[in-house]
Chain A
């Protein structure tokens, strides 16, 4: 707070961290120059969040030093950082849900205006003054973040994008000199990301900002400086343009250029070894035409609610057998709710769902899976307290044929060799990408004819996402698996899908084959969170 800018330097020097046998960070050295915005990117499991945790004192480094303003941060517990001028946001926001927005921010500024305990107890004017000052500072921070209007509302009930801004206000209220942002764009649509980017840009010069992010659109448009981690080591450093062009970075992380329009990328796929090929779409459509279209899944006027909110509002769609259908839309459009209603986790209020010609409306999830419909849930699908092996076996327990269970297990391990390596390990020790593979593998253990996939790319690096998409595409190719795929990342979803359905506020606003959908500019911009043609490079 008002200290010499040139002294507000963060120096991370040869920091190493081991978790058991795993090298989370390997002699990483990064300097954050004052007033600059630095992005830290890298594949899932590269150590980005561990790096933040080390700076914040949640994790003790096994080697190396950390200096802030010339003084060592070693042994400084997390709660003392605020006083040193360091603030941080957390993955997924993590507001205090049962406090109001302004109260959340006031907690962040708590060390600023401190009355004595006794004067608070007795209600003396001194404590009133401190409260007022704190509250004013909090309201100002909310204003700075653009969400002054929700000050008195309970934080838990706010929309996700608003929560993120409140979280930012909570970090900014104490006027930090160093701001650590952990995935500030996570879970946001393109419009919202632009807003956050603007907020961050405004901080340039007055605060040093270090951010960890997967979303390239944010990183490239906001950062002065980008550092790339892979498997715990720093592999590149430079301006966004330099990093994008660096071949090491490309191979480790970006894979194919992700900013090419979906249409062109389809045919250029060179699949990684472990995943089956995603073949050109033309071939698949021909095959379907030959076998004759039969709708595997029919959804008619489906309605589902969360309390008073209509999450799914009279949705109708058909999924042809053997095809891949993508369900797209912005955050909160109802995609996950749709899937959960179809698979029986959420009870419908109206409408019909039938699968393979049989009505499954309202059947509970444990019965639906027995009909041949597998569901890979969003987010934490792998059960952390079970081993990889146990997770997989769980997927086949409902099947009577015991011998086939063992066969299925081997098939899944063939599909995911990395899982076979870790079969005795607890799922909690796997990286995000591996857990997603485990989730998919477990669903496959039930030998479903149709797979419901909920945001398989969430939290994963582009390369891993591509692998998984390729895998899904290949499975559908080879075994005729019908797929209903919910995705925020429209690009990757449309690259393998036959058809697409776009949801907005629980309703279907567009349904067409994937090529048409990918090409429709208006649709892309408005609902898919993609830049329209004139925006992209």
Chain B
């Protein structure tokens, strides 16, 4: 029973990290109808940057906020420089562009920082809480993870639904031509969307770094799981990203605990297929379109 509790709590905290990556992917999808396969590389780079700041200044929180800020800047930069050029075309071109960026970032990171994994300090204790004399697999750091992701998610949700900026961004995503006719500076909205998304990704990067260490390829599984979580929840739904992340985190935690850690990726596949067979557009897609 305590094992089940351990796995559940572990699943929640890892699930929130997947949710953050999923959120990043969902935001970019909604803004530009592109799946950002480079997200794993981007958050890897911002985590490296955060680590450099932490090592230089000794302050975790400075590194934390630098990670988020550099995420914002990085996202905007990628959108303006690269994505602009593939935005209008066939979707596969954008897939290739982001994949190419991923390869480039991994190569560059390896060249600059080498492939040796580096450790990343957690902001809070990673020793589990003690409940009823048992030490559970859920620590203050895990709690911080959950709160941080929820906070960012709620903030973004409010931004989209209730603010004018959010309306502009949604209009830019759904119908850029019409949005322009209504005075929306669509280009800026897309850049902004990417910036916010990359920030969410950076958050996931620093949150998971203590566990996986920092290296060019250490964040690859995170991309895959984040994507799976986003797809489970439905790429159009930020809420779906959170729920999808949690579901995936829990399921994979159980798979790892009861069936063996090697089967985790296969487990993700099975879950993904099961969800998509039942709901081919994910669990939370809302608008229906008439095709005939």
Contacts and interface: CB of A to CB of B under 8 A. Distances in A.
A390 B178 contact: no
A397 B289 contact: no
A488 interface: no
A345 interface: yes
A397 B164 CA distance: 7
Contacts of A426: 287
A390 B167 contact: yes
Given A49-B292, A53-B292, A390-B167, A384 B181 contact: no
Contacts of B288: 428
A369 B180 CA distance: 9
A461 B9 CA distance: 60
Given A366-B183, A397-B167, A428 B177 contact: no
Contact of A397 (B168, B175, B181): B168
A489 interface: no
A350 B234 CA distance: 46
A345 B167 contact: no
B105 interface: no
Interface in A381-410: 381, 383-386, 390, 393-395, 397-398
A446 B182 contact: yes
B16 interface: no
A273 B185 CA distance: 38
Interface of B: 164, 167-168, 170-171, 174-175, 177-186, 287-290, 292
B252 to A, nearest CB: 32
Given A369-B182, A394-B179, A58 B292 contact: yes
Nearest to B179: A394
20 contacts: A90-B292, A364-B180, A365-B181, A366-B181, A366-B183, A366-B186, A369-B183, A374-B181, A377-B178, A383-B171, A383-B174, A384-B289, A393-B164, A393-B167, A394-B167, A394-B171, A394-B182, A397-B164, A398-B183, A428-B289
Contact of B174 (A53, A343, A375, A386): A386
Given A49-B292, A381-B178, A394-B179, A366 B185 contact: yes
Contacts of B181: 343, 345, 365-366, 369, 374-375, 377, 443
Nearest to B183: A398
Interface of A: 49, 53, 58, 90, 343-345, 364-366, 369-370, 374-375, 377, 381, 383-386, 390, 393-395, 397-398, 426, 428, 442-443, 446
Given A384-B289, A397-B164, A426-B287, A366 B175 contact: no
Contacts of B175: 383
B184 A377 contact: no
Nearest to A381: B178
A69 B3 CA distance: 66
Contacts of B179: 383, 394
B287 A428 contact: yes
Contacts of A369: 181-183
A366 B178 CA distance: 10
Nearest to B165: A397
Nearest to B186: A366
Contacts of B186: 366
9 shortest interchain CB distances as A-B pairs: A398-B183, A365-B180, A369-B183, A385-B174, A383-B175, A375-B181, A366-B180, A385-B287, A395-B182
Contacts of B178: 377, 381, 383
Contacts of A385: 170, 174, 287
Contacts of A384: 174, 287, 289
Given A385-B174, A390-B167, A428-B287, A398 B292 contact: no
B251 to A, nearest CB: 31
Contacts of A395: 182
A194 B168 CA distance: 45
Nearest to B188: A366
Nearest to A49: B292
Contacts of A442: 182
A395 B180 CA distance: 10
Contacts of A397: 164, 167-168, 182-184
A53 B175 CA distance: 27
A390 B168 CA distance: 10
Given A364-B180, A383-B178, A443-B181, 14 more contacts: A58-B292, A343-B181, A345-B177, A377-B177, A377-B178, A383-B171, A383-B174, A383-B175, A383-B179, A385-B170, A385-B287, A390-B167, A394-B182, A398-B182
A90 B168 CA distance: 34
